Amino acid sequence: MNVAVAKTGNGRAVSDLFASAEGRLPGSPSVIAVRREAFETYERLGLPHRRIEEWKYTDLRALVGEVLPLAASPDAAALKRAADAIKAHAIAGARKLVLVDGVFVADLSDVKALASEAGLRTLREALEKDAGLLEAAATDAVIALNAALATDGVVLSIADGAQLSAPIQIIHIATASSASAFSRSQIAVGNGARATIIESFVAAGAKAYQVNDAVIVSVGDNADVAHIRLLDDAPDAVNVTSQFVTVGANTKLNFFNMTTGAAVSRLQGFITLAGEGSDLSINGVNLLQKTEHGDTTLVVDHAVPNCVSREVFRAVIDDRAHSVFQGRIIVRPDAQKTDGKMMTRALLLSDEAEADNKPELEIFADDVSCGHGATAGALDDSLLFYLKARGLPEKQAQALLIQAFVGEAIEQIADDGLREHVIGIAERWLERRQ
Amino acid sequence: MALLEVKDLKVRVEEREILHGLTLTVNEGEVHAIMGPNGSGKSTLSHVIAGKPGYEVTDGQILFKGEDLLEMDPNERAAKGVFLAFQYPVEIPGVATMTFLRTALNAQRKARGESEYSTPDFLRKVREVSKSLNIPQDMLKRGVNVGFSGGEKKRNEVLQMALFEPSLCILDEMDSGLDIDALRIAADGVNALRSPKRAMVVITHYQRLLNYIVPDVVHVMSKGRVVKSGGKELALELEASGYAQFEDAA
């Protein structure tokens, strides 16, 4: 009965959405058929709600309600605003790939500089051939919706043995208010390659917009990859991102996410360790205020023996904000000698702040070392008093302790310039609460 | 000139009165020792002067340079020149000592309407002071007090005292947890800071510390009051006869 209600509630609005978007969606008729099928999956499921276990703490029906119409292709004025936003958010020395309202803009991107080091196509171009990139686990409604409506994205391939001389920064810029952007990208890193990939989500004057992004990452053997995601969307925006990551053997993958924006955000990562001897490190920071809702949901699948995974998650929650961390570690029967651990700590800055932590271990092998831990608490009064007794006003004392709290996760970023950039974003968040 | 005037101070902690009308005047340039048995209220006095939360002042007042100290936040008191050297300095993981020192120094200067220190000036000053206190540079790179020995923590307190140049230093049980060498280094640091414009209140349980930091005035506290005041010879007298005589007097 609930399903029927959902269909009439959300189904019709989306039907109109798909019909109106269809003419703008890239892909051959066969691709459009795949999209239609994905869209029907979405229609059948509707927006996720609290009775679906994976979405228990992030009820999109209650928090978001409806999917907004697809944003128009950016016009000259939008591109001008986007160019200004790039100045504020570009990381010095990085090669930029810019998506404006879900559409790749070559003129704003460093296509030429990148050409000698990595292969680049757009999703639009990739879909001319086949629908392969749209066919990722469409059992989840938001992923299905992304497959149905993804307008563009970057398809990056970093060749075997390539050592990127500069980081690549994919910048998602929202310029259209009260509209949705759907993007889907692929990042393929070859054997023995070394790369730093950054994804930034920012607004250029847009309000109350929605982002639905999907990223398919594959990393080969003996590679060394740093993947940094910085969600700094407008305070009234919605951002739902799904990542599918496959890691080869003897590879080092360092993933870092920091959320400092969006009214509602969810990052769901599905990471499979598919080759032995790899080392996965995931660090997350949520900085939430007002009534913001930030959800990080990770599934780390140890499919083979002898891999290490570490998840360190820090949440700083002010006002009536709500932070969610769900971490599941799966250890398959063959995955002996797995070492998988996750630790999450929440710092509650107000009595009404809320943190939900849900660790899950699904262990099918018998010779493993797995564990999880979670803490939640306020700032330590004795530390605050010490700092105040040395002359720091209350908010400044708090800011110093908050920076120290998240610092442990941020310290994992090896590149000095990049780490400073991330610290800068955190500092601006702290200034907003002064 | 009177720098600190504590007048008939009554303080409660959770409904229990700890100070029952304490009066104390400290003039510029003077070093006062406050001695007394455990539970006499010595540390409570230091905490109330610094502004630690959790204490309820029910009567009396504290004037600092003629201003009502109890009306000020702890950070305002620090900017005015009140410095409490903690008995147990806290460890603050993740906050680099240098960042902490610079933020604190500049916050105090800003509050006083003075210009903030530039990085080179600040570094020069810290290097100068830390050298005189025998504080290795790598200690300054660590988190505030993280992994410091008892002696290192106290030296870090003295370092801050030297940097912030307060006009009133309250040393709360500076000797606790220190061996004799560490005590001497810390005391030498404190003695170097004695000046005609600066007053110090040395709170201690034992006379030992006063061999190194020689006071002008010694007060004996018992049961929340000052029960006797005198010259430095009073400390020696206490060492010989103990606190028992004063417990009855209070």
The answer to whether residue B50 neighbours chain A at the CB level (below 8 Å) is yes
Is there a contact between A383 and B90 if contact means CB atoms under 8 Å apart?
yes
Residue A299 contacts B, CB cutoff 8 Å: no
pLDDT tier at B49 (50, 70, 90 boundaries)? very high
Q: Which helix (H) or strand (E) holds B127?
A: helix B119-132
Contact B75 A389 (CB under 8 A): yes
* Chain B residues within 8 A of A407 when measuring between CB atoms: 94
**Across the interface, do A390 and B78 touch by the CB < 8 Å criterion?**
yes
Say yes or no: A166 contacts chain B, CB-CB below 8 A. Answer: no
- Contact criterion met (CB < 8 Å) for B107 and A407: no
Q: What is the mean pLDDT of residues B150-179?
A: 92
Partner residues linked to A298 by β-bridges: A269, A327
Cα(A136)–Cα(B243) distance, integer angstroms = 80
Rg (CA), chain B: 18
Q: Residue B140 has what pLDDT?
A: 87
In this prediction, residue B134 carries a pLDDT of 79
Residues A393, B73: C-beta atoms closer than 8 Å: yes
DSSP class of B71: G
Asked if B105 has any chain A CB less than 8 Å from its own CB, the reply is yes
Select from A217, A206, A223 the least CA-distant residue to A170. A217
Q: Measure CB to CB from residue B75 to each of A392, A400, A408 and give the nearest one.
A: A392
Determine whether the interchain pair B164/A381 forms a contact, defined as Cβ–Cβ distance below 8 Å. no
Domain boundaries, chain B: 2-249
DSSP 8-state secondary structure symbol assigned to residue A55: G
Alpha helices in A22-140 (DSSP H): 29-45, 60-63, 76-89, 111-115, 123-129
* B90/A390 Cβ within 8 A: no
Residues of A in contact with B52 (CB under 8 A): 385, 389
Whether residue A1 has pLDDT greater than 80: no
A379 interfacial to chain B (CB closer than 8 Å):
no
Instruction: Select the residue of B75, B84, B105 nearest A393 (Cβ to Cβ).
Output: B75
**Which 176-205 residues of chain B touch chain A by CB within 8 A?**
none
The pLDDT-based confidence of B151 (bands split at 50, 70, 90) is: confident
Chain A nearest-CA residue for B54: A381
Measured CA to CA, the distance from residue A178 to residue A181 in angstroms comes to 10
* Percent over 90 (pLDDT), chain A: 87
CA distance A264 to A321: 10
Q: Which residue of A has its CA nearest to B76?
A: A391
Which residues of B, range 151-170, sit inside 8 Å of A by Cβ?
Answer: 160, 164
On the 0-12 / 13-18 / 19+ scale of CB atoms within 10 A, A228 is buried
Q: What angle do CA B61, B65, B69 make, to 5 degrees?
A: 40
- For residue B192, the one-letter residue type is A
Q: Is the dihedral of CA B221, B222, B223, B226 positive or negative?
A: negative
pLDDT per residue as tens digits for the range A96-111: 999 999 999 999 999 9
Residue B143 forms contact with A (CB below 8 Å): yes
A218-269 pLDDT, tens digit per residue, is: 999 999 999 999 999 999 999 999 999 999 999 999 999 999 999 999 999 9
pLDDT beyond 80 at A132 = yes
Give B98-133 pLDDT, tens digit per residue. Answer: 999 999 999 999 999 999 999 999 999 999 888 888
Q: What is the pLDDT of residue A235?
A: 96
pLDDT tens digit sequence for A357-392: 999 999 999 999 999 999 999 999 999 999 999 999
Count interface pairs A-B at CB distance under 8 A: 74
Q: pLDDT of B209-245, one tens digit each?
A: 999 999 999 999 999 999 999 999 998 888 888 888 7
A119–chain B Cβ distance below 8 A for any pair: no
CB-closest option in B74, B79, B93 to A385:
B74
The whole-number pLDDT of residue B242 equals: 83
Give residue A3's pLDDT band: very low, low, confident or very high (50, 70, 90).
very low
B72 three-class SS: coil
Q: Residue A252: CB partners within 8 Å, gap ≥ 6?
A: A223, A224, A225, A278, A279, A281
Q: Does any CB of chain B come closer than 8 Å to the CB of residue A306? A: no
Chain A CB contacts of B84 below 8 Å: 389
Do the Cβ atoms of B78 and A387 come within 8 Å?
A: no
Q: Considering the domain B2-249, what is its CATH architecture?
A: 3-Layer(aba) Sandwich (3.40)
pLDDT at B6 over 90: yes
Task: Average the pLDDT over A70-82 and give the result.
Answer: 96
The distance of A371 to chain B (nearest Cα, Å) reads 24
Which residue of A388, A401, A411, A420 is the best one to mutate when testing the B interface, meaning the one whose CB has the most B CBs within 10 A?
A: A388
**Which residues share a beta bridge with B82?**
B168
- Provide, rounded to the nearest whole percent, the portion of chain A with pLDDT above 70: 96
Give the model's pLDDT for residue A112. 95
A390 in reach of chain B (CB within 8 A): yes
The whole-number pLDDT of residue B236 equals: 87
Distance (Å, whole) CA A91 – CA A299: 29
Q: Which residues does chain A have within 8 Å of residue B99's beta carbon, measured at their own beta carbons?
A: 400
The minimal CB distance from B160 to the residues A390, A393, A396 is found for A390
Q: Which of A385, A387, A407 sits opposite B94 (nearest CB)?
A: A407
The predicted-structure confidence for A309-363, as pLDDT tens digits, reads as follows 999 999 999 999 999 999 999 999 999 999 999 999 999 999 999 999 999 999 9
Q: pLDDT band for position A434 (50/70/90)?
A: low
Alpha-carbon distance of A344 to B29, in angstroms, equals: 52
Residue closest to B24 by CA, chosen among B187, B196, B202: B202
Max distance between CA atoms of chain B, in angstroms, equals 57
The interface predicted TM-score of the complex, written ipTM, equals 0.96
The more confidently predicted of residues B136 and B194 is B194
pLDDT digits (tens, 9 = 90+) for A11-33: 455 567 888 888 889 988 889 99
Nearest-neighbour CA in chain B from A344: distance (Å): 17
Nearest Cα residue in chain A from B91: A383
Residues 6+ positions from B175 with CB-CB distance below 8 Å: B183, B204, B206, B208, B209
Q: Which of residues 72-91 of B touch A (CB under 8 A)?
A: 73-75, 77-79, 84, 86, 89-90
DSSP bridge partners of B163: none
What average pLDDT score do residues A410-432 get?
Answer: 92
- Name the residue among B29, B4, B177 with its Cα closest to residue B82: B4
**Residues B11-41: pLDDT tens digits?**
999 989 999 999 999 999 999 999 998 889 9
**B104 contacts chain A (CB < 8 A):** yes
Question: For B78-91, how does the pLDDT look when each residue is reduced to its tens digit (9 = 90+)?
Answer: 999 999 999 999 99
The pLDDT of A277-305, averaged and rounded, is 97
